[in-house]
Amino acid sequence: MPSFCVKCKRNTDSINEVKSTTKNSRPILKSNCVICGSKKSQFLKVGKGLFNNALSNLGVELHLPASKGEDVPNGSFNNLNKYSYCGPGTKYDQRDKEGYKGINELDKMCKLHDNF
């Protein structure tokens, strides 16, 4: 996994990668630079955060209101006058499988954002 090397002053590939935790329980990746052999460290991301975890566990979709909804045959979200993807708690996989595209450019960008 490429990470920044302070000595080379650029992202370089790593060797001898070891995942461990710091004294305060943060995950960290320790490795050596392929080019100069210097030690490198990189903190690893953990979870989604307290707010996002709580929101995901609610089981409620909070979508922005819209002037018209999207109509998809046999869709579970038809004509509710809400955006299909804009708002927290969206069931992305379900909406995508049913064929929802997004009602406008903003909704399509929200779909793209939710995909990542």
From CA 83, how far away is CA 65, in angstroms rounded?
A: 6
Asked, for residue 52, whether it belongs to a domain, the answer is no
What is the reported pLDDT for 86? 84
- C-alpha to C-alpha distance for 39 and 61, rounded to whole angstroms: 45
DSSP element (H, E) containing 107: helix 105-115
Residues 6+ apart with CB under 8 A from 78: 69, 70, 71, 72
**Could you tell me the pTM of the whole model?**
0.49
Q: Report yes or no on 53 lying in a domain.
A: no
With contact defined as beta carbons under 8 Å apart, do 31 and 14 qualify?
Answer: yes
Full domain range(s) for residue 24: 3-43
CATH number at residue 22: 2.20.25
- In total, how many domains does the chain have? 2
pLDDT digits (tens, 9 = 90+) for 30-63: 999 999 999 999 998 776 677 767 776 777 778 8
The pLDDT value recorded for residue 77 is 79
- Claim to verify: residue 24 and residue 66 sit in the same structural domain: no
How far apart, in Å, do the first and last CA atoms of the chain sit?
20
Residue 27 lies in a domain: yes
- Write the DSSP symbol of residue 16: E
**What is the per-residue pLDDT for 80?**
83
